[in-house]
Structures are given as C-alpha cells and as structure tokens.
Amino acid sequence: MTASLAARSRSSSYSRACITGHLEITHIGVDGNGAVEKPDFDLAPGETKILALAAFCHDPRQSLKFTIAEMKFPAREAEKARLEAQKAAAEKAAAEEAAKKKAATEKAAAEQAAIEAAKREQAKKEAEALAKQGDASRKQTAEQIKAGEHEAEESRNHAREGEAYREKRQLEAQSEANAHVRYDELAADQFRNGEIIMAAPLGFQNTKFGPDDNEGRFTYGARLGLRGYAWVKKISEPGKPLSGSGFEFAVEGGYSSTIDLGENSSNTKSRLWGGHGHVRYWQGPVGFGGFGEWTHYSRTPDGGTHMSYDLYALGPELAFGLVASRSLGIEGALRAGAVASGNGLTFDTSNDLFVSASALAELNYLYGGAVATRYVTSGTIDSWNALAVLGVRMPF
C-alpha cells in the first residue's frame, strides 16, 4: 500500500521554531525490503502536529515504526547560550575589576610599606640621636647623683654625730640625776645581769645554848652580797612583767652582834658570822635549786669563858619571782635542809633541821626585805631569828 504520511513542511521561520527534529519512519515495502524515512519537522509555538499527508510504499502486513529523534529546543538553547554569554561577560568584567582592585591594593600596600619603612628609618635616626644625647645626659645625671649622695652621706654623718652628741649629753644628764647610774641599767624592760648588795639586818635573835641558857636579844649587823644571772631567753609577753628562763648564782656574807635592851641587861656578848650561797634555775616566775648555809656563833658569858659554835646547813630551795628587770625585782624563797654541828650532816624534822623563809623587794638602788630562820640541832644549839633587811644595791 501507499502510505500518506509525510513530515510537516517548514512553512514557518526557523527562528520562530519552538521544537525541531526529524521523524524516523521505519517501513517495509512490497518487495520485502525495509526503508527508513527521515522527514524533518519544526513546531512553532502552539503547534502540536508534526506530520502531513505524504506518500510512501508500505507492506500493510508489516508494522510501521515511528521514532522522534534529535529533538531540540532552539529558543531555549539560544536563551541559555545568551545567558551563558552574559554570565561569562559578567565574570570576565568582575575578574578584571578584581584584578584592578588587587593591583590598586598591592600598589597602596607597597606605597604604605615604603612610607612605614621611611618612618622607621627616620625613627631609628632620631632614636640614635636621642641615645647619644641620653648617654651624655645620663652621664651628667650620674655625676650629679654621685655628688648628691656624697653630700647626703656627709649630712647623715653630721646628723649622726649630732645625735650621738645629744644622746651623750642626755645620758650624762640622766646619770647625774640618777647618781651617776646609766638609764639603760635601770630600765624595767631589760634583764639584770647581776647586782651587788650592801644591807643592814635588824631584828630579834633567840638562841638556846643549853637547857637553862636561853638568850633572846636585839641584833644588828651588816651584810654584803653578789648575784649573777645567765638568762637563756625571754618568755614574758610585751607589756607584761619581765620574766625569763635562766640561771642565778649568789653568795652572801655578814656579821651581826646582839645587845640586851631589857631593864636587867647582861654583859654577855654574842656575835655571829655567816655566809650563804645558792644556785637557782628560773623558769618564768618559778625558781628552784639548792643552797648552802654556814653560821658561826661566838659567845662570851658574863663572867664566863669564851665559847664558839659552827653550824652548817644544806638543802633544796624553791623561789617565786614576779619581776626580773634591772630596775625592779620582787621575790620570795623557802629553804629546808639538813644541818651539821660537828657530828656530821643529819636531817630530822624534830632534832636536826634548818628552815628559812625570805621576801625581798628591789627598786632601782633600794634593797629591802624580811628573813626568818630556824636552826635545830640534836646538840646544844636551838636558834631562830626574825630580821628586817634594809640596804642599797648596784645593778649591772
């Protein structure tokens, strides 16, 4: 048969075509040979048919095959090409503009770097010039400072000499006011290193020499003592009475005589010599140690022969002290120990015993206190006394 299909002719302008391509028609003729027709087509906007009547030979017993191939959209592709061209032109312009800006920026940076380099060079030259001026100025200033320090040192030396002279005059005036004793030796906040004591004991002495020979009389005399201290450390707080820890060494000796003040006085003469020594360790207000005592009795009864006795005592000692300064001292002491009267050292609370209690107060040069002792021996002596002690001291 003869088919009447054909592609639509290009009756419209190509430029107006919306879709283009060709239609492949595969058919088989009566001779049994296949053939392919490829009519082109282009569709304007609004068109939908791509074929018109056309004649070609085809075996009706065979099938026809239609294929649309190489379909294109010219308007769309043209628009795409136009947009790509615009984009490429814009990118090229932007790249050129960026290159111009980069070149301008690099030029400005180079100019700024050159300016900064020039400034640094100028600053370096100015710094070198100032450094040279500064070296000269520092040298001059150092010389002025050295001269000023020399003048200041001379001024300080003159001031120290003046201060030393004023202190010397003050100490001399104070020494004259304090009977030539330096003020620092009387300071209440300084430990005393030692003292010399001169005192006169006054009081009552009672001695029993035998069962029927009991003598009680007023006694007076003189004593001399020396004390030394070795302080380890100060333990009192500021503002509190001065106290510390350390050692004390003391020796004393003296002479006394008795006098009968009663209406029926006796011509009996009694004299006493004696010595005392002790060692104490002070820990704050408490002192403990040991003592030794020696007493020599010399007696000449009225109308009788001369007699003498020696008594010895040895034992522990406990003391209490409130202040340990150079200018002020207050203390009390208790002593008890064994006695000896020629028959060896023995201790018996009823027959052989020495006990003593004392209280002393010291202020600047003044020395005073009270002492009470009791000697009991299994021999012939039984003695006690109560004395007031007044005197002077020289601290050092």
User: pLDDT, tens digit, for every residue of 14-32?
Assistant: 445 577 887 788 878 767 7
More confident site: 90 or 265:
90
Among 47-51, 138-142, 363-367, name the one with the lowest average pLDDT.
47-51
pLDDT at 150: 83
pLDDT band at 277, cuts 50/70/90? very high
Do 206 and 165 share a domain, yes or no?
no
pLDDT in tens, 320-375: 988 778 888 899 999 998 887 655 666 666 678 899 999 999 988 999 999 999 98
Among 66-70, 175-179, 314-318, name the one with the lowest average pLDDT.
175-179
Dist. CA 283–CA 304, nearest whole Å: 52
Do 267 and 147 share a domain, yes or no?
no
pLDDT band at 286, cuts 50/70/90? very high
Among 36-40, 52-56, 252-256, 275-279, name the one with the lowest average pLDDT.
52-56
Among 3-7, 62-66, 254-258, name the one with the lowest average pLDDT.
3-7
pLDDT at 247: 95
Scanning the structure block, which residue is given the tokens 């302008």?
13
Q: Give mean pLDDT, residues 111-137.
A: 86
88 falls within a domain: no
Among 181-190, 214-223, 332-341, name the one with the lowest average pLDDT.
181-190
Q: What is the DSSP string of 119-185?
A: HHHHHHHHHHHHHHHHHHHHHHHHHHHHHHHHHHHHHHHHHHHHHHHHHHHHHHHHHHHTTS--GGG
Q: How distant, in Å, are the alpha carbons of 22, 28, 30, 102 from that of 61?
A: 25, 9, 9, 76
78 falls within a domain: no
Tell me: pLDDT of 258 over 70.
yes
Do 256 and 350 share a domain, yes or no?
yes
Among 57-61, 97-101, 176-180, 252-256, name the one with the lowest average pLDDT.
176-180
* Under 8 Å between Cβ of 383 and 347: no
Q: Show the domain range for 251.
A: 190-395
pLDDT at 126: 87
pLDDT at 242: 79
More confident site: 323 or 53:
323
85 falls within a domain: no
Alpha carbon 355 to chain centroid, angstroms: 54
Q: Shortest CA distance to 369 belongs to which of 381, 361, 357? A: 361
Q: Which of 177, 199, 218 is the last residue of a domain?
A: 177
Do 340 and 292 share a domain, yes or no?
yes
Do 336 and 378 share a domain, yes or no?
yes
The separation between the first and the last C-alpha atoms of the chain, rounded to the nearest angstrom, is: 162
Tell me: pLDDT of 188 over 90.
no
pLDDT at 186: 44
333 falls within a domain: yes
pLDDT at 328: 85
53 falls within a domain: yes
pLDDT at 176: 66
Phi-psi domain of 19 (left: phi exceeds 0; alpha: psi -120 through 50; beta: other): beta
Average pLDDT, the chain: 81
Do 274 and 391 share a domain, yes or no?
yes
pLDDT band at 1, cuts 50/70/90? low
80 falls within a domain: no
More confident site: 99 or 172:
99
Do 205 and 324 share a domain, yes or no?
yes
Dist. CA 24–CA 283, nearest whole Å: 134
Tell me: pLDDT of 111 over 70.
yes
Dist. CA 343–CA 61, nearest whole Å: 177
Tell me: pLDDT of 6 over 50.
no
371 falls within a domain: yes
Do 235 and 366 share a domain, yes or no?
yes
Tell me: pLDDT of 200 over 70.
yes
Angle at 147 between CA 141 and CA 149, to 5 degrees: 100
pLDDT at 182: 46
β partners of residue 276? 252, 293
Q: Shortest CA distance to 321 belongs to which of 219, 251, 235, 208? A: 235
Number of domains making up the chain:
3
228 falls within a domain: yes
- pTM, two decimals, is 0.50
Dist. CA 119–CA 139, nearest whole Å: 29
Do 290 and 373 share a domain, yes or no?
yes
Alpha carbon 9 to chain centroid, angstroms: 112
Q: Which of 139, 154, 177 is the last residue of a domain?
A: 177
Do 358 and 224 share a domain, yes or no?
yes
Q: Shortest CA distance to 335 belongs to which of 319, 349, 323, 346? A: 319
Do 245 and 341 share a domain, yes or no?
yes
Do 221 and 335 share a domain, yes or no?
yes
Q: Which of 145, 177, 209 is the last residue of a domain?
A: 177
* Under 8 Å between Cβ of 247 and 229: yes
